[in-house]
Each structure stands twice: as structure tokens, then as C-alpha cells.
Amino acid sequence: DTAVSQTPKYLVTQMGNDKSIKCEQNLGHDTMYWYKQDSKKFLKIMFSYNNKELIINETVPNRFSPKSPDKAHLNLHINSLELGDSAVYFCASSLTRGRGFITGELFFGEGSRLTVL
Amino acid sequence: AQKITQTQPGMFVQEKEAVTLDCTYDTSDPSYGLFWYKQPSSGEMIFLIYQGSYDQQNATEGRYSLNFQKARKSANLVISASQLGDSAMYFCAMREGIIIQGAQKLVFGQGTRLTINP
């Protein structure tokens, strides 16, 4: 019963290739995110989607393109991979509207470790 | 400017001792939320505790408590009676402003690697 699941967990690929990471959440959340964790463990937001609509688009190269077919899925496609893209990519989700008290905490997937050779 | 600062890259503590992980933040928004996450060596991010800027009391969750000092802009995590399984990276994070659909983002600190020694 994984709440936020990402596939694949590991990706090893050559420079110049295109790759995708898929993410699904079964928490009924309305907002999903992609975060990147670099080799120094620093976590930075890349994108945020709310009900399939792109809301946050941080300074990320155009080679990164998120796609949200519905509010439970958020995929990340990366074109022309570069060495500097090697990182762990985390998908996350949160609830930003609902009954009761909302903290807005993020629920993270297990991460997808991308290695570009 | 750094929004979240964690000044301790690494901490070493004896099992069963209490440990305090430091976090200071920078915001001019009166409404914000502060979070702590744990990342064990297996890599997943685990939510530990939340503190809202208007909360009158410090947040507590089991062995975790948050020492919230608003005037100092600090939100230190206190782990009581540490256990070997507490060894992990710990991240402090902040959400500025109120929660708006999809527009909220958490900004993370650099993390503190905590090692519990037997």
C-alpha cells in the first residue's frame, strides 16, 4: 500500500539519452511535486502541479519536462541527459485544500537515483 | 540569502542521550510552517514534526519535540532517549505564507547527519 510510488528506483544511462521517471500517489492529494537531491544531499524543488495544472516551475533547464495526466500521476521526462543531471529525484504529494487542519506536509516517494555516465 | 540554516553538518551522540539539532530560518512573512524530516541511509524522506508560526505551544510527536523560539527564528528538533535507529540525515524545512493550492513549496536546509553510538 505504497502512498507515493516512483519507478524506476535506479536509472543508469549514457549522456545524451532521454529518460522518464513515473510517479503515482494514492493519498487523494491535490498537489504533486518533483524535488532534486544533489550529491551533497541538498533538496530543491523543481516543479509543482495542482490538479494537473503546473503551478511552480523553478529555474530548471528546458530539457526537463513534467507531465501530469491526472491529479494522481506526475511524470518527469528528461531529454539529452548530462552528467550534472545525476542525482536522486523525489516525487512528493500534499494536500492543500480540504476539511480540517492542514499542515501542508509533503509525503515523499522513495526516490529515483539517476546516474548519467 | 539562505532561508533555512542547519549549522551542524554532523552530530555524534551516545545511545539513550537526548540530542538537539539546530535550525534557524529567515522570513518576513508572519505566516509560515516549519517541518523536520528524517532521511535514513535507505534514502526515503520521513516526516517527523510540524510547527505553525501561530502555534502557541511547541509541537511534540512521541520522542520528537520542536523547540520553537519565534523571536530568535529558530526551530530546533529535540530527540529524547536516542536510539540506534535514529542515525540518519535530518532536514529542517520551511513553507512561507499560507497554504495556497499548488503554490506552496518547502525550502530545505542542508541537513545534519546524526550518528548514534552504542
Which whole number is the average pLDDT over A18-43? 94
Collect all residues with Cβ–Cβ distance below 8 Å to B42 and sequence separation of at least 6. none
| B33 and A CB contact within 8 Å | yes
Q: Which of B79, B101, B111, B33 is nearest to A88 (CA)?
A: B111
Q: What is d(CA B10, CA B23) in angstroms, rounded to the nearest whole number?
A: 13
Scan residues 2-31 of B and list those with Cβ closer than 8 Å to A. Answer: none
pLDDT tens figures, B8-31:
999 999 999 999 999 999 999 998
Are B102 and A53 within 8 A, CB to CB? Answer: yes
Query: Is the model more confident about A24 or about A104?
Result: A24
pLDDT for the residue numbered B1: 61
Flag if B103 and A55 touch (Cβ within 8 Å): yes
Query: Is the model more confident about A113 or about A98?
Result: A113
For residue A7, the cross-strand partners are: A22
Q: Which of B13, B18, B16 is nearest to B80 (CA)?
A: B18
Are B91 and B108 within 8 A, CB to CB? Answer: yes
Query: Is the model more confident about B102 or about A37?
Result: A37
Q: What is the average pLDDT score of chain B?
A: 93
Say whether pLDDT at B97 is over 80: no
pLDDT tens figures, A45-97:
999 998 888 888 888 899 999 999 998 999 999 999 999 999 999 999 988 77
Q: Which of B92, B80, B85, B84 is nearest to B25 (CA)?
A: B92
pLDDT for the residue numbered A101: 61
Nearest CA in chain B to A88: B43
- CA A21 to chain B, closest CA, distance in angstroms equals 16
CB-closest option in A41, A49, A106 to B89: A41
How many Å from the N-terminal Cα to the C-terminal Cα in chain A?
Answer: 34
Residue with cell 528528461: A78
The three cell numbers locating residue B19: 540530542
